[in-house]
Amino acid sequence: MVRPLGFLVGLGFITALVFAIFTTPLSNEENIAHKFHEHPKHLKLASDGLLPHWDKQQLQRGMQVYKEVCSACHSLHLVAFRDIEALGYTPGQVKTFAKGFQVPSINPDTGELGDA
């Protein structure tokens, strides 16, 4: 009569151990990164399908999501401001966007950082 009980207790311990091993908590940074990288929904994009093309509104919506969410952690420092005109923004809108950033000035003669 005692044996099955001992077996059940042992099984309980093993279950708890397996649970603990496979559900190791992530570090804070990993948790946050995972929160923002949940499985993306499959979107119906104009760039899919038989006649793929860029939909400027969809592109600009992506830019808005980048600005409001992703830019907290990811920079666009390898993208030139002029390049975002390709998303359908006017040069004036690009200038307004660029005004929100501070970039170091580069001396045109020496190529070094600092005032000309």
Would you tell me which residues interact with ligand HEC (CB under 6 A)?
32-33, 36-37, 65, 69-70, 72-74
Question: Nearest approach, Cβ of 66 to ligand HEC (angstroms)?
Answer: 6
Question: Nearest approach, Cβ of 73 to ligand HEC (angstroms)?
Answer: 3
Question: Nearest approach, Cβ of 49 to ligand HEC (angstroms)?
Answer: 22
The three-class DSSP label of residue 106 is: strand
Nearer to ligand HEC, 28 or 110 (CB): 28
Contact 110, 81 (CB under 8 A): no
Question: Nearest approach, Cβ of 70 to ligand HEC (angstroms)?
Answer: 3
Nearer to ligand HEC, 56 or 74 (CB): 74
Nearer to ligand HEC, 45 or 70 (CB): 70
Q: Tokens 């059940």 map to which residue?
A: 8
Query: What secondary structure does DSSP assign to 53-104, as a single string?
Result: ---HHHHHHHHHHHHHTGGGT---TTS-GGGGGGGT--HHHHHHHHHT----
Contact 71, 65 (CB under 8 A): no
At CA 50, angle to CA 48 and CA 55, rounded to 5?
Answer: 45
Nearer to ligand HEC, 37 or 53 (CB): 37
